[in-house]
Amino acid sequence: MKKTHNIFLILAFSLVSTSLWASNGLRTISAGPLSLGRGGAGVANNKTSNTILINPAGMNDVGNQADLHFTVAFPNTHMGSSLAPAGNPDAVNAAGNDDALILPEGSMVLSFKDGKFALGVGAFFSAGFTVDFDVSRFNSAITANRYDRSGRYANLKILPAASYRVLDNLSVGLGLDINYAFFQSDSATLAPGFPETAGTNRTDSALGIGGRIGILYKPIKMLSLGLTYVTRQHFQRFDRYSDLIPTGLDLPQEFAFGLSVVPMEGLTVLTDFRWIDWSSGFIGSDLAAGGLEWRDQYVFAGGVDYNLDPKLGLPIAIRVGYNYGRSPITPKNAFRNLVIPLTIEHHFTTGFSFDLSDHIGMDFAYIHEFGNTVTDNGTGNPAGAGSFVSASANAISIGVRGSWGDKKK
């Protein structure tokens, strides 16, 4: 059993082997190339089985469908601490060892009673980062550039869900978030002399549990409104890293509101607004307690989708989107977060879909994450003043979907 567990850990980390992609903080902006091509929007309209994660109430509009997709990301990360009193003279503008990553995900929805009731399950890498620098964040006189250089975290979410169409224009969905998180780090701790964590870059894992509820309401034919609430995800402690993270590394609660408008045949305009409660739990705790002191994120996602089929008879849809989420890392806490380079704020996305037949289709998305640098101003920790962390990335997402039975419109 232990051997199987270790193989699973190695496989998971080999799949999530770079620093970040399409993220709002630690959280991925969405799931699946269709939503990604719209900037991550889809709370009010996402007719793929990935809606299990985005808004489980949307499953009533999916029918019988299975989706399999993978994303390849190409990140670019840098950090520097040479100007900080506690920094490393060797870390002038250190580049991360950023290899490409592949993220596979999949989901399936089954429809019953002519779409009145639906069940689904999905597997998603919903959060994560990994980074590896050649030099330390802290002064090399302390670390000899042997530790405080790297870290990895990934959360694999298994999500069974159910939805029920209460009225012809109102659906409600529930999901159970079963999380399996992996972590490893060679970070310095706050103990005297800033020694390396007792975990010494060994992989540890923890289980977590949470839930979500979604509502989808269509007051008129051209308008859809969606709501999704995700509870705080409660995790076991990473025992090997109790000197670094003394509690479970819980993921925060979220609330999202989505709007979808179809102003003309074939054209869909979508917007999502999301609040992510990063300031609670260990992630939001202050620097003196060893936390990251992240601030909450208020995220806007918007996209336009145009289906060429109604006007031109071509089974193709094209889309474009934008996503903005203010970095949870601030000038007050940049030094603390130098080896967690999750600073990206602006995302431009585009994509297209085409149907190979009435029951098989493919979706593509391209995501450009604009670079963003956060420089420590010394207000949280004067010893970190002048240090900086930055990140940018590009990613592509490719998926295939299959449906059976009556096709939903």
Structure confidence by residue, pLDDT tens digits, 244-274: 999 999 999 999 999 999 999 999 999 999 9
Backbone angles phi, psi at 4, to 5 degrees: -60, -40
Per-residue pLDDT at 20:
53
Quick one: which of 62, 73, 74 has its CA closest to 34?
62
> CB under 8 Å to 55, separation ≥6 — which residues?
42, 43, 44, 46, 173, 214, 215, 216, 226, 227, 228, 256, 258
- Which two three-digit tokens encode residue 197? 């964590």
How many Cα atoms occupy the beta-carbon half-sphere of 351 within 13 Å?
31
Q: Please state the rounded mean pLDDT for residues 278-286.
A: 88
Share of the chain above pLDDT 90, in %: 77
DSSP code at position 15: H
DSSP letters for 35-52? HHHTTT--SS---STTHH
Spell out the domain ranges in the chain. Answer: 2-404
Q: Please say if the pLDDT value at position 113 is more than 90.
A: no
Amino acid at 138: F
Quick one: which of 343, 345, 342 has its CA closest to 324?
345
Whether 55 contacts 260, CB under 8 Å: no
- Which of 11-25, 241-255, 352-366 has the least mean pLDDT? 11-25
Structure-model confidence comparison of residues 287 and 46, the more confident one: 46
Quick one: which of 205, 182, 212, 38 has its CA closest to 122?
212
Q: What is the per-residue pLDDT across 145-193, written as a single tens digit (0 to 9) for each? A: 999 999 989 999 999 999 999 999 999 999 999 999 999 999 999 888 8
62: left (phi over 0), alpha (psi -120 to 50) or beta: alpha
Q: What mean pLDDT is reported for the chain?
A: 91
Per-residue pLDDT at 57:
98
Instruction: Give the span between the Cα atoms of 57 and 163, in whole angstroms.
Output: 5
Backbone angles phi, psi at 314, to 5 degrees: -105, 130
Per-residue pLDDT at 22:
63
Per-residue pLDDT at 103:
83
CATH architecture of 2-404: Beta Barrel (2.40)
Amino acid at 63: G
Give whole-number Cα distances, 374 to 21, 99, 252, in Å. Answer: 18, 23, 22
Instruction: Give the span between the Cα atoms of 386 and 47, in whole angstroms.
Output: 47
Structure-model confidence comparison of residues 352 and 103, the more confident one: 352
Q: Which residue has the tokens 């709370």?
A: 43
DSSP letters for 290-309? T---PPPEEEEEEEEEEESH
Instruction: Give the span between the Cα atoms of 182 and 8, in whole angstroms.
Output: 10
Per-residue pLDDT at 135:
94
- Which two three-digit tokens encode residue 101? 């990553």
Element (H, E) at 166: strand 150-167
Per-residue pLDDT at 407:
56
Residue 16's pLDDT band (boundaries 50, 70, 90)? Answer: very low
